[in-house]
Amino acid sequence: MKVSPAIAQTARIAAAIDKLASFTEADRPYTRLVFSPEFDAARNWLADAFAAAGLVCHIDSGGNLIGTRTVNLERANLKMSDEGRADRAKVLIGSHIDTVPAGGRFDGIAGVIAALEVVHYLNEHQIELPFDLEIVDYLGEELNVWGTSCLGSRHMAGLLTPEILGRVDVDGRQLASEITRIGGNNLGCDEVRSDADQILACLELHIEQAKLLEIQSHDIGIVTAIPGIYRYGISVKGQAGHSGTTPMDDRQDALVAAADIILAINGLASDIARDENQHFVATIGKIEVFPNGAAIVPGQVEMTLDMRSASTHSKSAFLAAFETICRDSAARRHCAVDVRPLAAADIAPMDSGLMQNLSDAAAVNGLSTIKLASGAGHDTAHLSRFAPAAIIFIPCSDGLSHCPEEFTSNEAIAKGAWVLTSCVLALAGKPLQAVVQR
Q: Please report, for residues 21, 37, 166, 174, 273, the alpha-carbon distance to residue 177 in angstroms, rounded to integers and kept in the order given.
A: 27, 15, 9, 5, 42
Parallel, antiparallel, or unpaired for β 225-226 and 199-207?
unpaired
- C-alpha–C-alpha distance, residues 258 and 50, integer Å: 51
- How near is the Cβ of 105 to Zn ion at its closest, in Å? 12
Which range, of 100-108, 152-160, 367-375, 399-407, touches Zn ion by CB under 5 A? 100-108
Residue with smaller CB distance to Zn ion, 95 or 365? 95
Kindly state the smallest distance separating residue 135's Cβ from Zn ion, in Å.
Answer: 16
The span from the CA of 60 to the CA of 154, in Å, is: 13
CA distance 399 to 372: 14
In the complex, least distance from residue 196 CB atom to Zn ion, rounded to whole angstroms: 23
DSSP state of 397: G
* Residue 166: φ, ψ to 5°: -80, -5
How many CA atoms does the CB half-sphere of 234 hold within 13 Å? 33
108 sits near Zn ion (criterion: CB under 5 A): yes
Residue 379 touching Zn ion (CB under 5 A): no
Q: Which helix (H) or strand (E) holds 371?
A: strand 369-372
- Report the nearest approach of Zn ion to the CB of residue 223 (Å): 13
Pick left, alpha or beta for residue 399 (phi over 0 → left; psi -120 to 50 → alpha; otherwise beta): left
Q: Indicate the residue whose CB is closest to Zn ion.
A: 108
Sign of the alpha-carbon dihedral angle for 21, 26, 32, 36? negative
- Per DSSP, what are the bridge partners of residue 206? 393
Least separation in angstroms between residue 394's CB and Zn ion is 12
Which stretch, 102-110, 154-162, 256-264, 293-301, contacts Zn ion (CB under 5 A)? Answer: 102-110
- C-beta of 267: minimal distance to Zn ion in Å? 30
Q: Which is nearer to Zn ion, 131 or 393 (CB)?
A: 393
Kindly state the smallest distance separating residue 107's Cβ from Zn ion, in Å: 4
Angstrom distance (rounded) from CA 318 to CA 282? 9
Site string for Zn ion, 185-224 (x = CB under 5 A): ----------------------------------------
Q: Is 228 in the site for Zn ion (CB under 5 A)?
A: no
Q: Contacts with Zn ion in 401-430 (CB under 5 A)?
A: none
State which amino acid sits at residue 420: L
Between 108 and 298, whose beta carbon lies closer to Zn ion?
A: 108
State which of residues 38, 98, 107, 178 lies at the interface with Zn ion (CB under 5 A).
107
Residue ranges that bind Zn ion, judged by CB under 5 A: 107-108
